[in-house]
């Protein structure tokens, strides 16, 4: 979890000012669902994105 929150802070929220809590929530949701989960490479997956890891697993 520490690694995730560090990535969230440095890659998305650093230096941003949000108008309200809903704007912050929407931006963080966007980061998680559209970047962190599908595209960001993860060391536990051999430095592949989850999508690439699943594609590779489906081919074998």
Please tell me whether residue 58 adopts helix, strand or coil conformation: helix
Supply the pLDDT for residue 26. Answer: 96
3-state secondary structure of 3: helix
Q: How many domains in the chain?
A: 1
Q: Is the pLDDT score of 55 beyond 80? A: yes
Q: What is the pLDDT of residues 9-28, one digit of tens each?
A: 998 999 999 999 999 999 99
Domain range for 51 = 2-59
Cβ contact 18:33 at 8 Å: no
- Among residues of the chain, what percentage have pLDDT more than 70? 100
């Amino acid at each position: 979890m520490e690694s995730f929150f560090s990535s969230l802070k440095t890659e998305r929220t650093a230096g941003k000012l949000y108008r309200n809590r809903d704007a912050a929530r929407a931006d963080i949701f966007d980061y998680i669902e559209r970047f962190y989960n599908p595209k960001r490479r993860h060391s536990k997956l051999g430095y592949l994105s989850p999508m690439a890891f699943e594609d590779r697993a489906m081919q074998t």
